[in-house]
């Protein structure tokens, strides 16, 4: 397997979060976390559409919900834009 | 489109529809780029983080659904629609987008949720998602 190095810029806030996750999850270092994140993203994006959308919906549902339906949210936004 | 990211009634149907559009090579969808802004706004109102909103929008752009620009022609037509109806500005943009592309892109109907059917039925050939034969068995 050929290995390459990919460099990227990360904000200081994200770096703090990365370091916290590295400690909490017992990862070797930041690179280990990045490799794991890449594998996870590649797995997610390689799923069939239906499975991927269901996974994304789960992620969305665990990331804060207002209790309003999609229809209500869109209607509210449209009313605000019109006002 | 927001239904794709919300676990609620009709969400499974929306997911199946997008999945079918991707699977069937002769199927495609067209929407306005304005839809992406509406989805982003709705997701923010729902409490989603910037990262989740970006992830969702990237997902939306990855299907056989084209998001067309809001051209001057579309805006002009939307202005006329707003002047003659009680529709929201966004509704008018969507109707105008459909009208400008329907013939050239061989569009078979204007898909929307059944609750919005009456709002659009005088303007465009509305197809309620719940009425689509191939989605009847999906919740």
Residue B136 has pLDDT above 80, yes or no: no
In a domain, B97, yes or no: yes
What integer is the mean pLDDT of B102-123? Answer: 81
Residue B114 has what pLDDT?
Answer: 63
Residue B44 has pLDDT above 80, yes or no: yes
Residue B100 has pLDDT above 80, yes or no: yes
Residue B12 has what pLDDT?
Answer: 93
Q: Which pair of structure tokens corresponds to residue B80?
A: 């006329």
Min distance A63 CA to chain B CA atoms (Å): 6
Residue A31 has what pLDDT?
Answer: 94
DSSP state of B135: G
Residue B115 has pLDDT above 70, yes or no: no
Q: Which of A45, A47, A49 to mutate to test the interface with B (most CBs of B within 10 A)?
A: A49
What integer is the mean pLDDT of B11-29? Answer: 93
Q: Which helix (H) or strand (E) holds A13?
A: helix A12-25
Min distance A3 CA to chain B CA atoms (Å): 27
Q: SS3 letters for chain A?
A: CCCCCCCCCCCHHHHHHHHHHHHHHCCCCHHHHHHHHHHHHHHHHHCCHHHHHHHHHHHHHCCCCCCCCHHHHHHHHHHHHHC
| CB-side neighbour CA atoms (13 Å) of A38 | 8
In a domain, B65, yes or no: yes
Residue B117 has what pLDDT?
Answer: 64
Burial of B52 (0-12, 13-18, 19+ CB in 10 A): buried
Of the candidates A13, A4, A34, the residue with the CA atom closest to the CA atom of residue A22 = A34
Residue A46 has pLDDT above 80, yes or no: yes
Q: Which helix (H) or strand (E) holds B54?
A: helix B50-60
Provide the domain count of chain B: 1
Min distance B110 CA to chain A CA atoms (Å): 17
Provide the ipTM.
0.86
Residue B20 has what pLDDT?
Answer: 92
Residue B116 has what pLDDT?
Answer: 65
What integer is the mean pLDDT of B124-133? Answer: 83
Which residue from B22, B89, B113 is facing A49, i.e. has the nearest CB? B22
Residue B35 has what pLDDT?
Answer: 94
In a domain, B57, yes or no: yes
Residue B126 has what pLDDT?
Answer: 87
In a domain, B2, yes or no: no
The residues facing B110 across adjacent strands are: B126
State which residue of chain B sits closest to A64, comparing Cα positions.
B47
pTM (two decimals): 0.86
CB contact under 8 A, B8 and A73: no
In a domain, B89, yes or no: yes
Portion of chain B with pLDDT greater than 90, in percent: 66
CB contact under 8 A, B91 and A78: yes
The more confidently predicted of residues B42 and B131 is B42
pLDDT grade, residue B47 (50/70/90)?
A: very high
Domain, as residue range, for B130: 7-136
In a domain, B67, yes or no: yes
In a domain, B52, yes or no: yes
The residues facing B67 across adjacent strands are: B31
In whole angstroms, what is the distance from residue B82 CA to residue B88 CA?
7
Q: Which pair of structure tokens corresponds to residue A3?
A: 């290995």
CATH number for position B47:
3.40.50.1010
In a domain, B1, yes or no: no
């Amino acid at each position: 397997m050929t290995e390459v190095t990919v460099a990227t810029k990360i904000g200081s806030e994200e770096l703090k979060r990365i370091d916290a996750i590295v400690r909490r999850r017992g990862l070797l270092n930041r690179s280990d976390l990045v490799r794991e994140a890449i594998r996870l993203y590649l797995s997610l994006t390689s799923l069939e559409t239906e499975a991927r959308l269901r996974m994304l919906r789960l992620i969305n549902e665990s990331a804060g919900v207002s209790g309003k339906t999609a229809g209500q949210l869109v209607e509210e936004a449209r009313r605000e834009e019109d006002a | 489109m927001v239904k794709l990211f919300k676990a609620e009634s009709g969400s499974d149907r929306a997911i199946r529809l997008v999945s079918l559009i991707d699977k069937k090579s002769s199927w495609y969808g067209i929407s306005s780029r304005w839809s992406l802004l509406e989805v982003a706004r709705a997701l923010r109102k729902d409490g989603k983080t910037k990262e989740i909103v970006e992830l969702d929008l990237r997902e939306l752009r990855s299907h056989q659904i084209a998001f067309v620009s809001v051209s001057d022609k579309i805006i002009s037509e939307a202005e006329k629609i707003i002047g003659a109806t009680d529709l929201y500005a966004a509704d008018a943009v969507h109707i105008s987008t459909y009208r400008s592309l329907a013939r050239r892109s061989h569009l078979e109907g204007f898909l929307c949720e059944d609750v919005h059917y009456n709002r659009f039925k005088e303007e465009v050939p509305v197809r309620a998602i719940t009425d689509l034969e191939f989605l009847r068995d999906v919740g």
